[in-house]
Amino acid sequence: MNNLSNTPILRLAVFVTALCLAIPTYSQITLAEYRQSVYAASPELANAATFKEQSYSTMRQEQTSFLPSLSATGSLKSALRRSAEGDKFWGFAMQPSISQTIYGGGVVRAAFNQAMTGYESSQYNEQAVMLYMRYAADYAYWNLSAQQLYKAATDEYVSIIKSLYRVVQERFAEGYVAKGDMLQVEARLSDAEYSQLTLQNNYDVALHSFNNLRSSAQSGDVILLESIIDSIPMPRRVSAEELALRRPDIRMAELAIRSAQWGTKIARSAYNPNISANVSGSWHTFTPNLSNKTYVDGAAVISLSVPIFHWGERRYAVARARADERIAENNLENALDDMLQEEADGWSALNNSYSQMQSSLKNLQIAGENLSISTYSYQEGQATVLDVLQAQISWIQIYTNAITARFNYAVAVSAYMRLTAED
């Protein structure tokens, strides 16, 4: 990056910062701090985190299918009628049972692996949302920085015109210039003051967006401890292979294929037999209970279930699952194509914005020199008021273009970091 220590933009930025620092009630914030505040306030990130927790619970729920299940039932009964000997009909029963799936046709493991894939995908989804929110935070931060500079540039522009206006007034009073010259400067000053109001409104809108993104409770002005005029390094270009490994949407598309494959295994498991074991016992009284005696018995059962015919239900389920696989594979191909196009577009935009930024700085230097020469020439009687006004207009336009170029470059850097999943 070029050293901007001698550029008007840096002088303007110093002026803006000094003005803000003079007001202690303003909050100060870095870009990293602002990002964190946006993350904390983001409902999108909160939903992504909740979805991840939900996916984790689903995975753990499916994991319990590997474990045996234990249940118990009990009863107590008493009849109003009595036996011939006068005893009441009463009794109780306690029946514990433990069951375990030995072989479920592969559905248990496939369902667990599918749930585990879903949990892994939810982690990448959270990463994708965070990348988007980081870009949104960067945009709001850099936009507020740009609006500060636009406003300060216009303030300086008004100050320059006012200085010229005072000189023209003095010369008009001395009879050296025509009234038309004074009226031209006066009209230009009025236009510049109107621009001040417009840019103040633009700044207020940018500030509102800035505060609203980090929290609806935030309000008031801020001091940005970083600016678009700071040296922002150019990111390195990321290869297609590395990009495919880093992009969360690509990883999610790959996991979608894996999930669909497990879904096919679940569908095919309906063709397989099921084997389960059950051990149960019973502790209960005789009925009728004339002797108050109880007895215990138990049983162990191994069950085998073999599917025979279901009117094509399983075949259609498998066909649908395989179609889901093909759809997931096509989605991955499309995602890879989009990834390559987005990277190429982002890299091109980044380089163009960098070139425009460098060019704007050169133009700004020329415009500043031209303004100084025109102003001096007018004071020496070698230039007209129109020449000075034209130089002033050219200067503020190029000044504004330089700020815009800086903003575009900062945003392009953030955009490329988002689409390359750069930390």
DSSP string, 67-100: S-EEEEEEEEEEEEEE-TTS-EEEEEEEEEEEEE
Predicted pLDDT of residue 6: 40
Please list, in sequence order, all residues whose beta carbon lies within 8 angstroms of the beta carbon of residue 238, skipping any fewer than 6 positions away.
246, 343, 420, 422
Residue 127 falls inside a structural domain: yes
Digitized pLDDT (tens) for each residue of the chain, 423 residues in all:
333 334 444 455 444 444 444 444 568 999 999 999 999 999 999 999 999 999 999 999 999 888 888 888 877 776 555 555 555 566 777 888 898 888 888 899 999 999 999 999 999 999 999 999 999 999 999 999 999 999 998 998 898 888 888 888 888 888 877 888 888 888 988 988 898 999 999 999 999 999 999 976 667 789 999 999 998 999 999 999 999 999 999 999 999 999 999 999 999 988 889 888 888 888 777 666 656 677 778 788 888 888 887 888 889 999 999 999 999 999 999 999 999 999 999 999 999 999 999 999 889 888 888 888 988 887 777 778 888 888 888 888 899 999 999 999 999 999 999 999 987
**Taking Cα atoms as reference points, which of 78, 189, 208, 104 lies closest to residue 147?**
208
Give me 36's structure tokens. Answer: 């964190």
Question: pTM of the entire structure?
Answer: 0.83
Predicted pLDDT of residue 26: 63
Compute the distance between CA of residue 182 and CA of residue 164 in angstroms, rounded to an integer: 10
Predicted pLDDT of residue 45: 96
Q: What is residue 64's DSSP assignment? A: G
Compute the distance between CA of residue 407 and CA of residue 232 in angstroms, rounded to an integer: 11
CATH number assigned to the domain comprising residue 401: 1.20.1600.10
Distances (CA, A) of 178 to 125, 172, 173, 189, 388: 70, 6, 10, 17, 15
Residue 1 falls inside a structural domain: no
Q: Is 103 left (phi over 0), alpha (psi -120 to 50) or beta?
A: beta
Residue 134 falls inside a structural domain: yes
Give the range of the structural domain holding residue 324, as residue numbers without chain letter. Answer: 8-419
Residue 199 falls inside a structural domain: yes
Predicted pLDDT of residue 305: 85
Within 10 angstroms of residue 74's Cβ, the number of other Cβ atoms is 11
Query: Measured between alpha carbons, how far apart are the two ends of the chain, in Å?
Result: 21
Residue 2 falls inside a structural domain: no
User: How many domains are there within the chain?
Assistant: 1
Predicted pLDDT of residue 286: 66
The CA-CA-CA angle for residues 193, 196, 202, to 5°, reads: 155
Dihedral sign of CA atoms 78, 79, 82, 83 in order: negative
Predicted pLDDT of residue 10: 47
Q: What is residue 185's DSSP assignment? A: H
Compute the distance between CA of residue 258 and CA of residue 386 in angstroms, rounded to an integer: 72
Tell me the HSE value of 400 on the side-chain side, using a 13 A CA sphere. Answer: 14
Predicted pLDDT of residue 22: 42
Residue 3 falls inside a structural domain: no
Residue 274 falls inside a structural domain: yes
Give 355-402 as a DSSP string.
Answer: HHHHHHHHHHHHHHHHHHHHHHHHHTTSS-HHHHHHHHHHHHHHHHHH
